[in-house]
Amino acid sequence: MRFPPLDHPSRLAVAACPLAQPHSIFTFTLFSFSHAKLPAYILPIFPALAVMLAWRFFGDDPAKDSVPRWAWQIIVAFCFVAPIIFPFFVYFLLHGQTSWWLACQTPIALALLVLVIVLSRKWDRATIAACIAGLALLSLFATIAEFPLFEFDFKANQPLNQMGLALRENFRPGDTLVCWHEFPQGLPFYTGNLISATNRPYFGNMPLNKVPFEFPGNLHRLGSLYLDENGLLKLLQDDHETFIVDFGNTMESFQTNHLDLPLRLITRSGKWSLYRCDRMNRPPNGGNP
C-alpha cells in the first residue's frame, strides 16, 4: 500500500486509518470475549478511535462540512452519559444508600446538557469540536474522581475491607465465622489473624463449579467445614456467637424461615452482608454485656 506524503496532519490521519481500523476491531473483539475485563485492557483502542474520528470529521475533505448539525448534538449529548447514569449505578448497587451530592448530579447534568445543546445551534464546527473535547475530559475526570469513593461496592470479590474491619471490631476468640453462598476472595487479607490455618471458617451453599470447589478434592478436604442449610441451622442453634458473610442477601430468605434465630445485620457492602447470630446478647463492637 502506497501512503501519501506525511507533510500534513490530515494526510497523517489518512495514512494511519488502514492500521487503526483492524487494530480497533481486534482489540474490541478480543476483550469482548475475554473473561478478564480490566479497564487497562481496553485503553489501546482509544488512540486508534481518535485517529479515525479525526479523519472522518476534521479532515480537509469539503464533504465533511455536510455532516448534519443533529449529529454533532448527539456527540455532545454522549459527553453527559457518564455523569447522568453513574448515580443510578451507585443507587442500585448500594441499595439506595447514596450521598446527597450524588443525588443532585443527574438533574444538574441534564440541565447542562439542555443548555449546551441549545447554545451549540449557533456554533461553528470548530467550536462544537472544542466543546466536545472539553466536556468529554471533564466527564471523564469527574467520574474518575467519584469512582474510588464507591469502588469497593462494585466488586463481588475484592476488596472486602469494610467486611474485614467490621469483623476485627466484633470478632472474639471462640466465635465462629461462616462464608455463605459465595467465596469471599481477599477477606483474609482484611481480617488479620481471624482467618488462619488454625482458625478456619465454615463454608456453605456455594456453587461447586466455582473457586475453590472447581478444583478436585477441595470439597472433600473441607469435610465438616462445608455446611448445608441444616448444618448451618444446627451451628446457629449452638450456644456461641456466629458471624455470617453472606452474598446476594440469601440470609434474608433463610431468616424468614427461621424467625427464632437472633440474626442481626452488622454492615453491608454492595452484594456482601455481614450478619451476627448472638445468643449471648453481646453488645456491638465486642463490648461487655
Q: What is the DSSP string of the chain?
A: -PPPP-SSHHHHHHHHHHHHHHHHHHHHHHHHH-S---HHHHTTHHHHHHHHHHHHHHSS-GGGGGS-HHHHHHHHHHTTHHHHHHHHHHHHHTTT---HHHHTHHHHHHHHHHHHHHHHTT--HHHHHHHHHHHHHHHHHHHHHHHHHHGGGS-SSS--HHHHHHHHHH--TT-EEEEESS--TTHHHHSTTSSBTTBPPEEES--TTSTTTTSTTHHHHHGGGEE-HHHHHHHHTSSS-EEEEEETTHHHHHHHH-TTS-EEEEEEETTEEEEEE-SS-PPGGG---
pLDDT for the residue 36: 63
Residue ranges of the chain whose pLDDT lies below 50: 1-9, 62, 152-153, 157-158, 286-289
pLDDT for the residue 57: 63
pLDDT for the residue 121: 84
pLDDT for the residue 275: 93
pLDDT for the residue 66: 59
pLDDT for the residue 157: 45
Segment 116-171, tens digit of pLDDT: 988 888 888 778 888 888 888 888 888 888 876 765 445 554 457 888 889 999 99
pLDDT for the residue 274: 92
pLDDT for the residue 14: 54
